[in-house]
Amino acid sequence: MKHIEIEDPKLLAHLEQLPEDGLDIFILDEERDNAVRGAVLNATALVNAMRSAHELGILESLILGQAYIGSLLMTRSLKGTGRLNLEIGCAGPVAGLSVEATAAGDVRGYLKQVPIPVEAPLESFDTSPFFGPGILTVQRFADNSDVPFTGNTDLYYGNIGEDIARYYLVSEQTRTSVSVSMKFDREGRIIGAGGLFIEALPGASDSFLEDIQKRISSMDSIGETIAGGTANLEILESIFTGCRMEKMEHRSVRFHCPCSRERFKGFIRSMKLEDLNDIARKGPFPLVTQCHNCNSTYTFSRDEIRELLDSRNGSGRKEY
């Protein structure tokens, strides 16, 4: 992955004043067998890194950023090498998106349509008009497993947080509350980004869950709160004052993709021999490859492609 530096000095100065990005996992309980598990996320720096790498406008940053936040919140129950893929395919202008997040805190992914076509300037951050009918699919891989648990549900709200919560209810029969939030300043900078995930544990009473939901409904925007410099645990303490809280784990998070020039070189070498031979003869050169997940590009010269073809031929016979 090629790292693209953020060049806006005002944004950089603001990011330096904020708490570091991170995911904090916790349990709230009233008494034994009456509890919820949750996670709170600050993702301001990584969402800005995502925006810079993918060269996104405000709408595109909002939708992909919310998907990054939602996916990282969903990793709260994963361990070790566990990871999940969040896929949305839809008939609206967004067309769809794909995001991968890991238990280690790495997230990457892309929009299927950039820029997103709009007929008029944005009047609100309501994303529902841009999705339309569609399907949300989740693939979750447990630690050291290549066999995923897969579930899906229809897009119902056109709001990533609400549709993730509906996915858990419909596909996994789990009651959740999912909030994903981003704050933009007047010039369109992302100055706060994060989210909150609450999952009812078995045996949680309706009255306890109603109290938790009332607290969540009355809380300030998490994106705006983070933009003001409030740390994750301070956010939790302000929302759940008087509740018994157990802090379980803190995880660092980042926008990261494991792609590299060598990996793409391997992809090219493994192409069908006839296709590789065709590229060696016709180009275009330099050959430019692109990683959709992080927007990094890697170029290869004619000589490099011919060397790959020669290594495939083995005998040294040149067909180009």
- Confidence tier at 53 by pLDDT (50, 70, 90): very high
pLDDT of residue 36: 95
CA dihedral 309, 311, 315, 317 (to 10 degrees): 20
In a domain, 3, yes or no: no
pLDDT of residue 315: 47
Q: Which range is least confidently modeled, 2-16, 277-291, 306-320? A: 306-320
- 51 and 124 share one domain: yes
Contacts of 35 (CB under 8 A, 6+ apart): 27, 28, 29, 201, 203, 204
- 293 and 209 share one domain: no
- 124 and 171 share one domain: yes
Give the pair of three-digit tokens for residue 36: 């919820």
- 188 and 58 share one domain: yes
- Provide the whole-model pTM: 0.94
- 247 and 291 share one domain: no
CATH number of the domain bearing residue 277: 3.90.1280.10
The parent domain of residue 266 ranges over 261-313
pLDDT of residue 241: 92
- 133 and 171 share one domain: yes
Boundary-marking domain end, from 214, 231, 255: 255
What is the residue type of 219? M
Q: What digits encode the pLDDT tens for the residues 21-46?
A: 999 999 999 776 789 999 999 999 99
When divided into structural domains, the chain yields a total of 2
Boundary-marking domain end, from 255, 276, 298: 255
The shares of helix, strand and coil residues in the chain, as percent rounded to the nearest 5, are 35, 30, 35
- 143 and 13 share one domain: yes
- 59 and 189 share one domain: yes
- 301 and 158 share one domain: no
Boundary-marking domain end, from 227, 255, 283: 255
In a domain, 2, yes or no: no
- 251 and 272 share one domain: no
Cβ atoms within 10 Å of 9's Cβ, excluding its own? 8
CATH number of the domain bearing residue 83: 3.55.30.10
Give the pair of three-digit tokens for residue 262: 């060598």
Give me the mean pLDDT over the 125-134 stretch: 95
pLDDT of residue 32: 65
- 149 and 250 share one domain: yes
Rg (CA), the chain: 22
Q: What digits encode the pLDDT tens for the residues 290-305?
A: 999 999 999 999 999 9
In a domain, 48, yes or no: yes
- 163 and 281 share one domain: no
